């Protein structure tokens, strides 16, 4: 992305125009990793300060196009150019840019070289989606040596051995070289039916099961199948940002309804009801929740079901953390309410339960008449879920479930440790104890917490602790940060020792 100099700082244009140019620059900068700058910005204090702010706000690397540097005769510019990486550019790029043949967005950087692409033709839907803060923090964390990492919701334990063995045996027996049916292999769907009856109290049939590429692809296919452009989807927030993006990708409109933080990030049923309009098509939630760790209780979900039925809404659930609940909380699947049979798509995954993130395997359950419709979206996205992973998942369901219990016991221990360590930092954070998942969402009490992105970037850079800014989970997530406790106790202690040194 190229940030052009003059409109951003020149005094002879109106303040309103200048402001607009700056807003555009910030918006574009949020979508890219690097900023290629026009040398004019180095020539005056105002432009220079703007650049500094822009890069610290977005974490972008500033690169100065080499031929701009070449133009420079200004002492201020010469003094500052050492601050930024210089980059060679194709000989005619400036000329093309200046005469408008090439747009700012047409400059891409790759491995230190600028490549020009004349027309990216990116859809409005995609260009509206901001850069993922989670992946951005990962990228920045990789630049810090010996970082204490609390920013990924990814189990750090490996996949249990009996699951690996099931996959190896399927490979050896020549079962995985071709596609499966797009619904997934029958034996796996039959095991899932047993699991849904046993653990979710959902009376399912194989015709109601679709094996998907993780929960994510199931959710994406469900959203695609249900949402028309302009349809509104209510999402209690803070929530997993991927859900919001999936609605945008379907050209739907996410309607964000705040959770009640002081009640432990509880569902606000009255607020959900108040947000319903004639355009509302669905409610989408995850419980146990990413990022807050809230487990929505049965009583609240029954009320939500009544609201959905009354207003003829669909409910799309993400139950990725279903097995990780603590302190007597119980996971409740809204699909277990018989009246909801035609109104729910429930998405599940092997990712969290069996530490299988990389296998990309999950499934969804819905009405047997909806499955063929959802499949119309599933097939163009995936054809079928990876077959080797389907056999691994079969091994997971048929084998011992002790690993799930062991994971839960570990997360309970690490949750308790994280809460104890947070108690010692009570001048910096205030938290709601998570009843499930392996995530928590403390509020930042320091004034600088108002901008959670800057706060987390500073903590990473100066305190060497990687966390996720709360804003990544919707506007109500601002002034918070997400911490993952799916790590070792050693990692939690290391991160909190550093935070104590840094803040106290």
Ligand X SMILES: Cc1ncc(COP(=O)(O)O)c(C=O)c1O
Q: Which residues bind ligand X (CB under 6 A)?
A: 153, 214-216, 240, 286, 290, 318, 320, 349, 351, 357, 362
In angstroms, what is the minimal distance from the CB of 352 to ligand X?
A: 7
Q: Shortest Cβ distance from residue 382 to ligand X (Å)?
A: 12
Strand bridging mode 443-444 / 429-430: antiparallel
| 433: three-class secondary structure by DSSP | coil
| CB of 349 or CB of 366, closer to ligand X | 349
Who contacts 64 (Cβ-Cβ below 8 Å, separation ≥6)? 36, 37, 39, 42, 81, 84, 85, 86, 87
The set of residues, in sequence order, having a beta carbon less than 8 Å from that of 86 and lying 6+ positions away, is: 63, 64, 66, 69
Strand ranges (E), 147-279: 148-149, 209-212, 232-237, 253-258
- Of all helices (H) and strands (E), which one includes residue 78? helix 75-81
Q: Smallest distance, Å, CB 320 to ligand X? A: 4
- Between residues 216 and 472, which has the closer beta carbon with respect to ligand X? 216
- Closer CB to ligand X, 240 or 323, in the complex: 240
> What six digits make up the tokens of 169?
């045996």
Report how far residue 345's alpha carbon sits from residue 360's, in angstroms, rounded to the nearest whole number.
19
Question: Which residue has the closest beta carbon to ligand X?
Answer: 214
Q: Which two tokens stand for residue 350?
A: 């092997």
CB of 157 to ligand X, least distance (A): 15
- Cβ distance to ligand X smaller for residue 250 or 356: 356
Choose between 62 and 397: whose C-beta lies nearer to ligand X: 397
Q: Are 49 and 76 in contact (CB under 8 A)?
A: no
Contact 453, 491 (CB under 8 A): no
Instruction: Rank residues 2 and 286 by Cβ distance to ligand X and give the closer one.
Output: 286
Smallest distance from ligand X to CB 318, Å: 5
Sheet of 85-87, strand order: 2-3, 34-37, 61-65, 85-87
Write down the least CB distance from residue 434 to ligand X, Å. Answer: 13
State the DSSP string of 363-374.
EEEE-TTTHHHH
Phi and psi, residue 467, nearest 5°: -135, 180
**For residues 47 and 436, which CB has a smaller minimum distance to ligand X in the complex?**
436
Q: Which is nearer to ligand X, 154 or 458 (CB)?
A: 154
Residue 118 C-beta: closest distance to ligand X, Å = 35
CB 437 → ligand X: shortest distance, Å? 8
């Amino acid at each position: 992305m190229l940030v052009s100099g003059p409109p951003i700082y020149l005094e002879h244009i109106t303040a309103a125009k200048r402001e607009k140019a700056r807003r555009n620059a910030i918006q574009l900068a949020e979508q890219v990793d690097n900023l290629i700058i026009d040398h004019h910005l180095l020539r005056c204090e105002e432009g220079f300060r703007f650049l500094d702010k822009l890069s610290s706000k977005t974490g972008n690397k500033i690169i100065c196009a080499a031929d701009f540097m070449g133009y420079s005769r200004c002492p201020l510019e010469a003094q500052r150019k050492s601050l930024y990486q210089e980059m060679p550019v194709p000989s005619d790029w400036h000329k093309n840019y200046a005469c408008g043949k090439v747009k700012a967005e047409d400059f891409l950087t790759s491995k230190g070289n600028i490549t020009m692409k004349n027309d990216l033709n990116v859809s409005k839907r995609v260009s509206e989606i901001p850069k993922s803060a989670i992946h951005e923090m990962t990228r920045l964390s990789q630049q810090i040596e010996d970082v204490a990492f609390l920013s990924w919701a990814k189990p750090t334990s490996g996949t249990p051995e009996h699951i690996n063995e099931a996959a190896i045996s399927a490979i050896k027996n020549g079962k995985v070289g071709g596609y499966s049916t797009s619904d997934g292999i029958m034996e796996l769907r039959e095991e899932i039916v047993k699991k849904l009856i046993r653990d979710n109290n959902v009376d399912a049939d194989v015709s109601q099961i679709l094996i998907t590429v993780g929960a994510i692809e199931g959710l994406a296919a469900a959203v695609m199948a249900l949402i028309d452009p302009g349809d509104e989807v209510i999402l209690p927030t803070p929530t997993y940002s991927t859900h919001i993006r999936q609605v945008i990708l379907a050209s739907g409109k996410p309607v964000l309804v705040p959770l009640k933080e002081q009640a432990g990030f509880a569902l606000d049923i009255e607020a959900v009801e108040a947000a319903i309009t004639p355009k509302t098509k669905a409610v989408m939630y995850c419980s146990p929740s990413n990022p807050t760790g809230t487990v929505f209780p049965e009583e609240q979900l029954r009320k939500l079901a009544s609201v959905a039925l009354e207003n003829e809404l669909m409910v799309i659930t993400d139950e990725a953390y279903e097995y990780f609940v603590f302190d007597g909380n119980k996971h409740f699947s809204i699909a277990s309410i018989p009246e909801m049979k035609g109104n729910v798509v429930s998405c599940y995954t092997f990712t969290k339960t069996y530490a299988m993130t990389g296998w990309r395997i999950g499934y969804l359950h819905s009405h047997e008449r909806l499955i063929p419709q959802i499949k119309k979206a599933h097939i163009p996205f995936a054809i079928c879920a990876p077959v080797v992973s389907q056999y691994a998942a079969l091994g997971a369901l048929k084998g011992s479930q002790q690993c799930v219990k062991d994971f839960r016991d570990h997360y309970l221990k690490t949750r308790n440790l994280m809460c104890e360590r947070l108690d010692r930092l009570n001048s910096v954070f205030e938290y709601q104890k998570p009843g499930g998942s392996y995530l928590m969402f403390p509020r930042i009490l320091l004034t600088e917490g108002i901008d959670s992105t800057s706060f987390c970037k500073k903590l990473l850079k100066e305190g060497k602790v990687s966390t996720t800014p709360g804003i990544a989970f919707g506007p109500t997530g601002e002034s918070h940060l997400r911490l993952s406790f799916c790590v070792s106790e050693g990692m939690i202690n290391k991160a909190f020792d550093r935070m104590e040194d840094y803040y106290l």
